[in-house]
Structure formats: structure tokens, C-alpha cells
Amino acid sequence: AQSVSQHNHHVILSEAASLELGCNYSYGGTVNLFWYVQYPGQHLQLLLKYFSGDPLVKGIKGFEAEFIKSKFSFNLRKPSVQWSDTAEYFCAVNKAAGNKLTFGGGTRVLVKP
């Protein structure tokens, strides 16, 4: 069975700092990769996804992620965070031939103004 690991459970940083959240998955076949975000009081929403092509994917709100197949990783990055990026971030994966998502445990990010 596939699994997803997010290395950091909590991250605290100041505005304008750079953010990188790690995500690794275990599955040997072809996968699709997603990052979802949940802002306080809101529901999960998609930040970005990768399924083919350029392994560097750009999403909403200045986020990007890089798929490194050899490392089974899909790390999320933002060069300069804002207070409004305070949220919980979830990495998820599904098989190319399936659709049910397997999520990581999430990373809570707190951006101090």
C-alpha cells in the first residue's frame, strides 16, 4: 500500500522567510501528486498538482513544488511567506490508474507577523 510522509509536523517562521515542506511517498508505480492547504476555519483546497511534464509545478499564491522521482519526493516551496500563509498543509498522492487520495499527516505552519 502506498504511504505519504511529511517530515515536519509544525513549522514556525517569520514573514518574508522562505518555506520548504518535505513530502515523500512510497509507491513504485506512476503517481499523481497534490498539495492541499487548509486555512483556519476553511476547508481543504488545492494548492497545486503534478501528473506529468515539467517536474517543477507552480500553484496558487506563489507556491511551487518539485517532483524528484528518484527521491520519491514532492517538496513544497514558497520564497517569501506572508502572515496569511498560516495554515495546515497536506501532501497527497494517488496512483495514475486510481483516484483515491492517500494523504500525509499534515504540517502546521505558523507565520509570525
Partner 1 sequence: GAGVSQSPRYKVTKRGQDVALRCDPISGHVSLYWYRQALGQGPEFLTYFNYEAQQDKSGLPNDRFSAERPEGSISTLTIQRTEQRDSAMYRCASSWTSGSTDTQYFGPGTRLTVL
Binding site for partner 1 (CB under 8 A): 4, 6, 32, 36, 42-46, 49, 51, 90, 92, 94-106
* CB environment 98-111: b (16+ within 10 A), e (fewer): eeeebebebbebeb
**Least distance (Å) from partner 1 to the CB of residue 16?**
28
Q: Apex CA 106: angle with CA 105 and CA 109, to 5°?
A: 155
Closer residue to partner 1 (CB): 17 or 22: 22
**Least distance (Å) from partner 1 to the CB of residue 87?**
14
Closer residue to partner 1 (CB): 43 or 54: 43
CA distance 9 to 27: 22
